[in-house]
Structure 1
Amino acid sequence: MKPLNVLWISTHDINPHLGCYAGVWPGAEYATTPNLDALAAEGVRFDNAFAVAPVCAPSRSAIVTGCFPTAIGTMHMRSKAVPPPEVRLLPEYFREAGYYCTNNFFTDFQVFTPGTTFDECSPTAHWRNRTNADTPFFAAFHGMATHESRLYLDDEAFAAATARVRPEERHDPAGAPLPPYYPDTPAFRKAWARYADAITEVDHWVGEILAQLEEDGLADSTIVVFWSDHGVGMPRAKRFAYESGLREPLIVRWPGVIEPGSTRDDLVYLMDLAPTMLAAAGLPIPGHLHGRPLWGTDGGVPAEPRDVVVGARDRMDAAEDTSRTVRDSRFRYIRHFHPDRTLMQHQEYADKFPTWKEFRRLASEEADQRGRGERPDRLTPLQRRFVAPSKPEEELYDILSDPHETQNLAEDPAYAADLARLRAVLAEWQAQYSDLGMVPEDELAEAWRPGGEWLVTEEPIVSVREGWVEARCATEGASVGWTTTPPRPIAEPSPLAVVTGDPVQDDRGWKLYAKPFEAPKDTTLYFRAWRLGYAPSPERTLNT
């Protein structure tokens, strides 16, 4: 039986605003997404899929490790954590099993990505680059069209960024289904229409990738997964522990296993993708993973679906805040650990965007109104909560009757039992998974890097025994890579590549050492070891 190929197609910063989610997610019918709708019709649409964090890097760390960021230290936006030694990045498990693993450049996993993670990580990475067409692949494509930064480009740049979108597919701002927590102003309507246009751009891109899969005769032997990292890149969504920050589209097509046109309404994490892909490929699932396979051994729904999913918001760049949230099939509970702080803290990155500026402009105008002895009327009470100087310690929403989370039920006696139940669930989860977000970040950093010094992975130990090359590293949790390409000058990485932790672009084709291999004759081999959160080892040379 041929091994199963794995294709991930993901985008940034969207909720389930796809046509196939009409009736499931408010306003989904506004989007023009024929390719993704067709993908859902050929597979399964998950109606209750959630990120574990409402911002990219922590969420992506969970997806690629299968672990809660708060348990492995990757919860603060833009940090370089030192996860426990057992934690690895998902593609390494596939590489060990002989898969060709690619990523079309975007990483952002909260660690520097080891050279052993991918066969290729670049804008040109593709399954078509493998040297043997029979080699199974794990290929990840990450689109940027829907990233919040794209919504606010000037008109010419936005048109270029959404060049695939035909004139008749453009979305009319007048018809934008704005959530009630946004002011109904031209700035928000324009942003929402552009958001939908960007989704349509992604839909065309997805169609192109799927067409390539068909052209190569690989559609029937490939599991295809479409997902986004977290919610829409606007205020009160991305970066915030609400439904709009955490609820995601998730579509999976698995020919011969998943019934076409099926839906799932059980609670799942994007974090579940790591163990699910391993199980689908018939590979063992490491015991330390917190995610669970999305299918049982018979391809059906797991025997014990989750009762709840948990999310966490921690430091977002310079904005220090801590919130935790629990979602069951009906309610969302949120606990804010700094209720004295406004939700809308200053964000150097986000505050330059028109929707953020619009919120602040309207709040300022209301302050002027108060100064004149007038009743403020620029914002509704719901919208005013977002710019208020403080926030409640607890929030509780009935998602079934109030999908936009407008009515906080935390102080309603009729819901006291639900509040207490979900409060206890959160406390139990924090104890079970050792919530590192409760530890001051400077203390964590000092424990990871005493005196600010990076720990260095130990040099690999290599040898040739009876014609076979053996390699190991004494650093617990390290992976060893090898190559026949000698060192060469390396261009200085861009500031963004350093922040997102992209692998060093040295063009040396590092292979992951998984087991002894036959020593090539008269060849110089180069070895290096990587451990997540450490500096890579010095290089070791072996002449065979």
Structure 2
Amino acid sequence: MKTPNVVWISTHDINPDLGCYSGIWPGADYAHTPNLDRLAADGARFDMAFASAPVCAPARSAIMTGCFPNAIGTMHMRTKAIPPAEVKLLPEYFRAAGYYCTNNSFTDFQVDVPPVVFDECSPTAHWRNRPDEDTPFFAAFHGMTTHESQIYLDDESFQRATLNVARQVRHDTSTAPLPPYYPDTDVFRKAWARYADLITEMDHWVGGILDQLEEDGLVEDTIVVFWSDHGRGMPRAKRWATEAGLRVPLLLRWPGVIQPGTVRTDLVHTMDLAPTMLEASGLQVPGHLHGKPLLRRGGSFTDRPNAYVYGGRDRMDESEDTSRTVRDERYRYVRNFHPDRSPMPHIDYPDHTATWSELRRLRGEEARQLACGELPSRLTDLQRSLVAASKPGEELYDLEQDPHETRNLVQDPGHMKALARLRGALKTWQDSVQDLGMMPERQLMENWRPNGEAPVTATPTLSITAEGISAACETPGASIGWTASPPNPSSSPRPQEQRKLMDRVTGSPEEDGRIWNLYTAPVPSMGTSSVRFKAWRLGFTASQEASVQGRVAGRAPKSPEGHLHEDNNLPL
């Protein structure tokens, strides 16, 4: 079987609100998504796919590492973790296998991304930039169209953001399928219709990428995966360890391998994508990954890869909280470790959005009703629970009978067996991954960076062998890069505090004007050119550079002291 290419197309903040999920996910028939519907028809639709966290950075860290966030320290929104030494970002495995790896261009993986992970990480990154047509590629495209921020744009800006949504397919606010935990107000109806319009705009963008694969004659040789990082950007979804917070669309096409119209009802994590892509591409799946391969190299699916799927909510920006959840085919169980805290605490960013403000406004009106001796009537009990001062310590929902999680069954005698089983499953999972979310974050940070000082990756040691320049790094888990390009002072990486704030937050690779090749084997001599090496370990400060001058007639170059020349003080 030919080595497949891999294209990932991801979006932000949506549930399975695509037309192809009509009858599977409540309200999905409201959506207009012809391109994604076609993608599902041509491949496999996963009906029970779940994020590992209900917010972007922890969720993406799981997808890109194949590991649970609370096992590797990436569970808080946001952080800069130091994962265990064996943890790598998925594209590095592909790059080591000879793939051309690109990212266009959002990162946000909870670590600073080393420049050896991608051949290119930029708004112009594309498989079309690969060195030749025979080079296999891993190309990731991360669209921002459906991010929660876009729902709340002013009218003029929203029209510009949805230029490809024709008038006849714009979503009617009067038919918006609001779930019962939202008040039926103009604010929520407008937000829901806009959310659906943004999905249609995103669908147009996806269609463009699929068209490019067709134009390049690559459809038959390429695995295409579409996923969302987590659920919709509204209350009780994004930032909540709920069904709406964690359930996502997942579509996978591989012509000639996956039968068109395939439907998978297995419980899957989006975290499972990392081992799935490696396995399907014929690459070794590292033993430390928590994710399970969903698809084998020959094209057969893994039946019931997960008995349960897990997730959690931890610090959300400035709001500290901890919840864990487990789901089987029927039930969702949630353990809230701080029941005395509101399920909708003050968080500066979403508190400025129209839907969060609307809930707070209505609750404020109810307070004034109470002040006048009236019973509160602006919200239902279910809606009021979103803005309550506290939440239950435990929650249990029968999702077959109650898909919107409206009735907590923790006290229901008829569900005690399910409650005990899921309690046990959650505890077993937390123990097995040594849940770092149970540790105070300050203590975790001190363990990682004593006195606020990040550990430094050791400078690579170099030697000349018959095969070329050999490099090693004594820091466990470090990745080594090499380049024949000398440093350019005008394009050297800026100090961390001088980088753009969003680049610092999302961990985008630092640019120094050079392409760093991933070291996998001794590097042949470059004649008279200097070959430079540098090492990175996730969460560590990068090493200094070491270099070897070009050798003559197979002899190792020597410095005046008779040792391999190392430029350990070059600008970082």
- Do the structures match in fold with TM over 0.5? yes
Alignment of 1:82-231 (within 5 A): 82-231=82-231
Q: 1:296: Cα distance to partner?
A: 3.9
Q: 1:301: Cα distance to partner?
A: 2.8
The answer to whether the aligner puts 1:530 opposite 2:545 as a matched pair is no
| Aligned amino acid, residue 380 of structure 2 | T
1:99 & 1:301 partners in 2: Cα distance? 24
Q: 1:300: Cα distance to partner?
A: 2.5
Q: 1:519: Cα distance to partner?
A: 1.4
Q: 1:543: Cα distance to partner?
A: 1.0
Q: 1:297: Cα distance to partner?
A: 5.4
1:507 maps to which of 513, 532, 541 = 513
1:347 & 1:517 partners in 2: Cα distance? 50
Alignment of 1:123-522 (within 5 A): 123-296=123-296, 298-466=298-466, 468-488=468-488, 489-490=490-491, 492-522=498-528
SS of residue paired to 2:199: helix
| Runs of 4+ in structure 1 over 4 Å off | none
1:189 & 1:233 partners in 2: Cα distance? 14
Q: 1:161: Cα distance to partner?
A: 1.3
Residue pair 1:296, 1:303 contacting (<8 A) in 2 also:
no
5+ residue gaps, structure 1, are none
1:458 & 1:99 partners in 2: Cα distance? 27
Instruction: Identify which range, 477-486 or 264-273, moves more after superposition.
Output: 477-486
SS of residue paired to 2:157: helix
For the aligned residues, what is the CA RMSD?
A: 1.0
Instruction: Identify which range, 518-527 or 382-391, moves more after superposition.
Output: 518-527
Q: 1:467: Cα distance to partner?
A: 5.3
2:506 & 2:313 partners in 1: Cα distance? 19
2:309 & 2:3 partners in 1: Cα distance? 32
SS of residue paired to 2:8: strand
1:88 & 1:26 partners in 2: Cα distance? 37
Compute the TM-score of the two structures, normalised by the length of structure 2. Answer: 0.94
| Aligned amino acid, residue 190 of structure 2 | K
Residue pair 1:464, 1:519 contacting (<8 A) in 2 also:
no
Deviations 1:437-459 (A, max 9, x none): 00111111001001110111011
SS of residue paired to 1:106: coil
Distance 1:227 1:46, change over 3 A: same
1:168 & 1:542 partners in 2: Cα distance? 64
SS of residue paired to 2:283: coil
Percent sequence identity over aligned pairs = 63
SS of residue paired to 1:518: coil
Q: 1:2: Cα distance to partner?
A: 3.1
Hey, what does 1:50 align to over in structure 2? 50
| Aligned amino acid, residue 508 of structure 1 | R
Q: 1:307: Cα distance to partner?
A: 1.5
Residue pair 1:103, 1:141 contacting (<8 A) in 2 also:
yes
2:466 & 2:309 partners in 1: Cα distance? 52
Q: 1:303: Cα distance to partner?
A: 4.5
SS of residue paired to 1:37: helix
5+ residue gaps, structure 2, are 551-572
1:72 & 1:169 partners in 2: Cα distance? 44
Hey, what does 2:570 align to over in structure 1? none
1:220 & 1:141 partners in 2: Cα distance? 19
| Aligned amino acid, residue 228 of structure 2 | S
Instruction: Identify which range, 161-170 or 269-278, moves more after superposition.
Output: 161-170
2:297 & 2:3 partners in 1: Cα distance? 17
SS of residue paired to 2:363: helix
Q: 1:505: Cα distance to partner?
A: 2.2
Q: 1:335: Cα distance to partner?
A: 0.4
1:272 & 1:308 partners in 2: Cα distance? 13
SS of residue paired to 2:125: coil
2:6 & 2:301 partners in 1: Cα distance? 20
The answer to whether the aligner puts 1:543 opposite 2:549 as a matched pair is yes
Instruction: Identify which range, 229-238 or 502-511, moves more after superposition.
Output: 502-511
Residue pair 2:280, 2:296 contacting (<8 A) in 1 also:
no
Q: Which has the larger radius of gyration?
A: 2
| Aligned amino acid, residue 310 of structure 1 | Y
Residue pair 1:99, 1:137 contacting (<8 A) in 2 also:
yes
SS of residue paired to 2:348: coil
1:124 & 1:147 partners in 2: Cα distance? 20
Residue pair 2:276, 2:292 contacting (<8 A) in 1 also:
yes
Q: 1:166: Cα distance to partner?
A: 1.3
The answer to whether the aligner puts 1:16 opposite 2:16 as a matched pair is yes
Q: 1:304: Cα distance to partner?
A: 4.6
Compute the TM-score of the two structures, normalised by the length of structure 1. Answer: 0.99
1:88 & 1:43 partners in 2: Cα distance? 29
Deviations 1:125-173 (A, max 9, x none): 0000112111000000000000001111111111111111111121111
1:362 & 1:427 partners in 2: Cα distance? 38
Instruction: Identify which range, 241-250 or 524-533, moves more after superposition.
Output: 524-533
Instruction: Identify which range, 135-144 or 456-465, moves more after superposition.
Output: 456-465
| Aligned amino acid, residue 27 of structure 1 | G
